[in-house]
Amino acid sequence: MNPTPSSSNIVTIDTAALTYNYRIVSSSLPSGVELLAMVKGDGYGHGMVESARAFAKAGCHLFGVAEACEGVWLRQAGVEGEIFVMVGFQPDAVEYFFTSNLTPVVFSADAVELLSKTAVRLGREITLHLKIDTGMSRLGVMPGEVATFAELIENLPGIRLGGLLSHFPEADNVDSPNTINAFRVYSEACRSIETQFSGIRHIANSGAVLNFPETLCDMGRAGIALYGYSPSGQWQHGKVGDTYLKPAMSFTTRIAKVKEVATGVGISYGHSYVTTRPTRLAVLPVGYEDGYSRLLSNRGEILVHGKRVPILGRVCMNLCMVDITDIEGVQAGDEAVLLGEQGDEKITADDIAAWAETISYEVLCMLGNNNQRKFI
Ligand SMILES: *Cc1c(COP(=O)(O)O)cnc(C)c1O
């Protein structure tokens, strides 16, 4: 017997789908353009290490994480290749860039100077990439500061400028002129140091990789597309040429109880739903603590016996109720699918995102990072 029983709620990750998606996206790129796989957010909820391994199977040797600790975990798990740390680091974490061979993305003079000082002290060299703000108003130096930073980096020992990068705020929107405008700003900033710069340029996220290939430069940095979704929130857009990407995550549970209630009965906290007919309910052991948002109250749908059924009333911490009046023969212990396929029906992370007023990214992170995962 296992030392602990497994949860009724299981997130299943199809690692072959991850490998497939990386292969489809990377083989669509012009020759010479590399594809970095973003595995931050614990691989968008799919498991950082398992996702990195699945992408590596398709030839991926470039990975992106948010923090240095994630890069160290990847190394400890034996992941090879280049690992970019995207959101900076605290001064006390600087040595990990050397000991774990991580590539820092920098956007402050302090970080540049600390990396140089540490490189000298350790007798090492390190390649860093400079982030430019071309409209996210987030991390990144302003385009007018790029030349100054390039000079600072050139004049300090132990460090070298390996790349210039930026990030698009609206590449998921094919109709927005923002991406082309931001790319112009980025290109001009790169040009301002053209004579002394020999590194690579990269700006394209999934939206740009799928919709604006003219912005690919030397490397795409894809996240959501590799997990099988389009950043636009419409699964129909989640394709490369004519080939659809494959969502890799599904989320299932087992019905905890089936019960009948009469007309006019309130359901769950606040009685936000009152039955309008004699109603058969299935009670599911899934709630907001499992990443199934309370915003799905009276809005979400799940699959039982291959049919879509609606959530009735509020989603509780560990439970929610669905209407199975129209489905015969449902019993406690039957499988219910909250994300994924059952019979001919399918619920996508985009469906859940629309009901919960968010994006597939958040749905995948919330479900994947709050449940037991099974890798197949
Ligand atoms: C998350 C992230 C990406 C990937 O974005 P997707 O929309 O998931 O493709 C690319 N670059 C940076 C800097 C990021 O933080």
Distance (Å) from CA 131 to ligand 1 centroid: 13
Residue 127 phi, psi (nearest 5): -100, 130
Q: Which amino acid is at 353?
A: A
For the segment 301-306, the average pLDDT, to the nearest whole number, is 98
In short, whether 166's Cβ falls inside 6 Å of ligand 1 is no
CA-CA distance, 338 to 91, in Å (whole number)? 43
Which residue would you say has higher pLDDT here, 179 or 195?
179
Q: What percent of the chain has pLDDT over 90?
A: 94
For the segment 18-43, the average pLDDT, to the nearest whole number, is 97
The string of pLDDT tens digits covering residues 209-258 is: 999 999 999 999 999 999 999 999 887 777 888 899 999 999 999 999 99
Cβ-proximal residues to 140 (8 Å cutoff; 6+ apart), any chain: 107, 131, 132, 133, 134, 166, 167
Q: Which amino acid is at 236?
A: Q
111 and 89 Cβ atoms separated by less than 8 Å: yes
For the segment 29-34, the average pLDDT, to the nearest whole number, is 96
Count Cβ atoms below 10 Å from residue 32 Cβ, excluding itself: 8
pLDDT of 242: 87
pLDDT reading at 369 higher than 90: yes
Average pLDDT value over all residues in the chain: 96
In short, whether 303's Cβ falls inside 6 Å of ligand 1 is no
User: What is the pTM assigned to this prediction?
Assistant: 0.95
pLDDT of 296: 98
pLDDT of 33: 98
Query: Which domains does the chain possess?
Result: 15-236 (3.20.20.10), 249-375 (2.40.37.10)
40 catalytic? Reply is yes
373 and 13 Cβ atoms separated by less than 8 Å: yes
